[in-house]
Chains A and B, each alone.
Chain A
Amino acid sequence: MILARLALRNLLRQRRRTALTLMVVVAGFLALSLAGGFMAQTFQGLSDAAIRGGLGHLQVMPPGAMEGDEAQSLEKALPDGEALAARLRQDPAVAEVLPRIQFMGLLSSGPRSVAFLGTAVDPVLEPRHMASAEALKGGAKAPGGAGSRWISADPAAREVILGVGLARALGATVGSSLTLMSTTRDGALNAVDVDVAGLQDLGLRELNDRLLTISLATADQLLDAAQARSRLSVVLKRPQDTAAEQARLQALLPEVSVKPWFELASFYRQVKLLYFAIFGFMGLVLFLVVLLATANTLLMSVMERVREFGVLRAMGLQPGQLLVLLQWEGAFLGLMGSALGLAATLLLRAGLNALHLQMPAPPGTSHGYELNIHLVPAVYALVALGLQATIQVSALFPGLKAARLRIVEALRHV
């Protein structure tokens, strides 16, 4: 431990230089860990949006449903979807199963008709598990959206919820009567009259312009769906077990395809990849800065202590032990830097979150959101480990330089 003591004493002796290097390490830690917290917030938001936007934790669908355009029709559906849903509800890991029908057609208001993408849901189960009500809040603020409410649970009610863009295109408001047209399971053209129960703002302009929601009972009348369902959204009791439950249920139900939400949420995956690329590059630059700053500090330290190293070698210190000495100095720089960086991160995170800053709407979406940098211990540990490894690497060159000093020359060094 004498080498560790020597290393620590030397760092404390060169306080100004050590402080400057520590500032670089702290800045690196701060930037990376705050970015990690911001990424965690973004990923959490996106995953919540995907899961509560209708995907659930798992989706049960017919095999091949993801191929081609057929996903929007009942041609490729689960023919006994309701029975399968009832069976899945008995599974101890499943909290709820939400059957859905996806379809498309034309929506008419007098002379105007607009193509739509429709989703039929269970009007009772859906608001309990999905973010339907939140979308209605935004819709209520849109022109013609006042009085927006969720569709009635009465099977006799014929109601629809429109995306705000779709309503605008048709000039429809809450209470308007419209005609839904689509093809039945057998391919026949069919139509039903519906009343607009509410408008929904889904956050994405493209979705608002096309999407509508009706009840399964209304869809059954329009599409002659009977027991057929396009997909079943499965809500798990333990979301963290999604991957394991997917494998288990897939083995249990080989006749259907069971997919986890993260395989289906393409926007989530794309954003995740983009963030990893951006912050990965930023991290690389920061690690490089830390590497150079620490190497410079330790190299300067070696140059100033040539004679001291000569004496230590004369006393019998092995060349490798000088390498260890420099590694200890790097270790202390890393530990102190990470400890200070962690403290700075926690303080700054608390300060920034307390400001309730509103972030601008991400590209393609219509809502901003409040900055809430997450506390992610795993990221802090990863950043600390990365910085520590970087510093240990940066200590190698000065250490090798010290180890290669010739004793007689080192003792003559002025």
Chain B
Amino acid sequence: MLELRAITRAYELGGERAGVFGVSLEVPKGCLAVMAGPSGSGKTTLLQLAGLLDAPDEGEVLLDGEAVSALPEKARCDLRLKRLGFVFQAFNLVPVLSALENVMLPLQLQRVPDGEARRRAEAALERVGLADRRHHRPGQLSGGQQQRAAIARALAPEPLLVLADEPTASLDHAHGGPLMDLMAELAAERGATFLVASHDPAVIARAHRVFRLMDGRLVEAS
């Protein structure tokens, strides 16, 4: 499903060379994979490369066997829109839209008719347990509710791959565990592939695969 081949992306950080160097990994379809490692190990950088938000200096990203990292910006935008979903650490819901509208947003960007977008968004919100809060704006939701809305937003377009960057980092333990259970269930239910960057043991414990990173290099895959 997702394959990273000898990916290198280097940048200067505080006068030192940081990034990821020569990382290769493979995530099969329907897998909940976690990239683990301490802060600065390159988890987020690798996630951004896998999500086509950034381009590698060397190596390539393959989605379903197709090399996609060197595609032009427009084609990468289309891929992100139609085949990828993102969950961010800080939720990053659009503050002026309700939970329902936030979930409808990627569908509307795909030009899904409003009625169908609404139906699919409501189903996604119901699946994450937010049906009764769908008309609330992000500012009226708790952190856990916002992250569940963000997951619903990532899943509603039924992407092939969901990339989640520290999804539990802004949540307490009581909310983080159930959220990961939800992601694992969704991976099993829908055959969606999840690649999660996290150093949270609760997240790692629920992973089908774990890739450990250290100083931008893959040190362990299990």
Could you list which residues of chain A lie within 8 angstroms of chain B, going by C-beta atoms?
Answer: 2, 6, 9-10, 12-13, 307-308, 310-319, 407-408, 411
**Given A315-B81, A316-B77, residue A13 in contact with residue B95 (CB < 8 A):** yes
What residue of chain A has the Cβ atom nearest to residue B81's Cβ? A316
8 smallest CB-CB distances across A and B, nearest first, come from A316-B81, A9-B96, A2-B108, A316-B80, A311-B92, A407-B53, A13-B96, A408-B54
B111-145 interface code vs A (CB 8 A; 1 in, 0 out): 00000000000000000000000000000000000
The verdict on B56 contacting chain A, using a C-beta distance below 8 Å, is no
Given A315-B80, A315-B105, residue A9 in contact with residue B92 (CB < 8 A) = no
CA A297 – CA B118 in complex, angstroms?
32
Given A6-B97, A9-B97, check contact A411 B82 (CB 8 Å). Answer: no
B109 at the interface (CB under 8 A from A): yes
Residue B48 lies at the interface, judged by CB distance under 8 Å to chain A: yes
Chain B residues near A317 (CB-CB < 8 A)? 77, 81, 109
Say yes or no: A6 contacts B96, CB within 8 Å: yes
Q: B86 in the interface, Cβ–Cβ < 8 Å?
A: yes
Report whether A10 and B96 are in contact in the complex, using a CB–CB cutoff of 8 Å: yes
| Cβ–Cβ contact A407 & B54, under 8 A | yes
- Interface 1/0s, chain B 76-93, versus A by CB < 8 A? 011111101010101010
Write out the residue numbers on chain B whose beta carbons fall within 8 Å of the beta carbon of A307. Answer: 90, 92
Assess whether B51 is interfacial by the CB under 8 Å rule.
yes
What interface size band does chain B fall in?
20 to 34
Q: Does the CB pair A314–B51 fall under 8 Å?
A: yes
**Shortest distance in angstroms between B9's beta carbon and chain A's nearest beta carbon?**
10
The residues of B that contact A310 with a CB separation of less than 8 Å are: 92
B94 within 8 A of A: yes
A9–B93 alpha-carbon span in the complex (Å): 14
Contacts of B17 on A, CB cut-off 8 Å?
none
Q: How far is the CA of A12 from the CA of B96 in the complex (A)?
A: 9
B37: A residues at CB distance < 8 A = none
A2 touches B51 (CB 8 A): no
Bound form: Cα–Cα A361–B90 in Å: 69
Contacts of B88 in A (CB 8 A): 311, 411
Q: Are B80 and A314 in contact (CB under 8 A)?
A: yes
B-to-A contact residues, CB < 8 Å:
48, 51, 53-54, 73-74, 77-82, 84, 86, 88, 90, 92, 94-97, 105-106, 108-110
| B95, B96, B108, B109: residue with the most chain A Cβ atoms closer than 10 Å | B96
CB distance from A332 to the nearest CB of B (A): 13
- Chain A residues contacting B81 (CB-CB under 8 Å) are 315-317
Q: List A contacts of B110 (CB < 8 A).
A: 316
- On chain B, the residues within 8 Å of A6 by CB distance are 94, 96-97
CB < 8 Å: which of B48, B51, B74, B92 contacts A308?
Answer: B92
The CA-CA distance from A314 to B51 in the complex, in Å, is 8
Q: List 5 A-B contacts (CB under 8 A).
A: A12-B96, A13-B95, A311-B88, A316-B84, A318-B73
Q: Are B53 and A2 in contact, CB atoms less than 8 angstroms apart?
A: no
Give chain B nearest CB distance to A410 CB in angstroms.
Answer: 9
Q: Judging by beta carbons under 8 Å apart, are A411 and B92 in contact? A: yes
Inter-chain contacts of B97 with A (CB < 8 A) = 6, 9
* Bound Cα distance A307, B53 (Å): 14
Question: What separation, in Å, do the CA atoms of A2 and B96 have in the docked complex?
Answer: 12
- Chain B residues positioned under 8 Å from A315 (CB to CB): 80-81, 86, 105-106, 109
Cα A314 to Cα B85 in complex, Å, equals: 9
Between A313, A318, A319, A411, the greatest number of chain B beta carbons within 10 A of the residue's beta carbon is seen for: A411
Residues of A within 8 A of B80 (CB): 314-316
Task: State the CA gap A317–B105 with chains docked (Å).
Answer: 11
Please indicate which of the listed interface residues A2, A6, A310, A315 has the most CB atoms of chain B within 10 Å of its own CB.
A315
Report yes or no: A408 in contact with B53, Cβ–Cβ below 8 A: yes
**A319 near B73 (CB under 8 angstroms)?**
yes
In the complex, besides A315-B109, A316-B109, 15 extra interface pairs with C-beta distance below 8 angstroms are A6-B97, A13-B96, A310-B92, A311-B86, A311-B92, A311-B94, A315-B81, A315-B106, A316-B80, A316-B84, A316-B106, A317-B77, A407-B48, A408-B48, A411-B92
